[in-house]
Structures are given as C-alpha cells and as structure tokens.
Amino acid sequence: MIRLKSFLFPVLLFAVGTVCCQTTPNNKKVTVSEFEQLLKNNPEKIILDVRTPGEFTQGHLSNALNIDYTSADFKTKVAGLDKTKPVFVYCATGIRSTSAAKTLSQLGFENIYNLSGGIQAWTRANKPTEK
C-alpha cells in the first residue's frame, strides 16, 4: 500500500500541475513586464479584474472592468463582451484568473492574456494601480 501511494503521489502532482498551468494559443500566461507591454500595444482591449468588488476597490488597473469570477453570473456577464478584442485578465495571485481565462477560452475569446502572479506581482513590480 505504501509503495502504491509513493508511486501515485508524483503522478497525481504531475497531472495537476500539467492541467492547471497549461496555456493554449489563445490563452497565454504572461509576466508583469509582458502584460504591461501587451497592454500598451493593444489600444482596443478589455482589462478584466476577476476579484470580488471589495478587492477591486482596494486597487485595480486603470480602465479595468470588474466581474467577480466567483459570482453565479460570471459566464453570463463575460459572454456579453466582445470576443474579438484581446482580454487582459488578472486576480489577486493568478489562481482565479487562470480559471477565468480557461472559461473565456471555452466561450470563444480569441486572445487572452493572464497576468502571472496577479495584481500582487503587479504591485510588487511598482506598477500603477488606481482606487
């Protein structure tokens, strides 16, 4: 039994890491500097903050639209956005935005950029936010 557990744990860890961290051609996880540069290079874009409204009021990226990933109507709200515009998605640390980016991809959004490390990484890099 112990031998089976010691075999299954690394396999499970690999599978979870592979699935949760995958990107697809239309869904890319990017660094703070890449995110910032892509924002500058895409004048027609959607900046999507998927944190709660309370988190959003504590500080967010300029011109960000707040749609809470944990809300029951998340899919309905994002489905109404322009799927042809690049979407820049972020949350606090990158966990919710990874799930949100996967949902956006499934809904047919063409270009999704997910901020690795979320707004916490953004602020650690001394990038601007607004309240």
128 bridge partner residues = none
For residue 77 the two structure tokens come to: 């709200």
Query: CB atoms < 10 A from the CB of 98, how many?
Result: 23
Residue (of 102, 53, 109) closest to 80 by Cα position: 109
Residue (of 22, 37, 35) closest to 48 by Cα position: 35
115 bridge partner residues = 30
- Is 21 assigned a catalytic role? no
Which of 39, 46, 78, 91 does the annotation list as catalytic?
Answer: 91
88 neighbors 39 (Cβ within 8 angstroms)? yes
Amino acid letter, residue 32 = V
Catalytic annotation, residues: 91
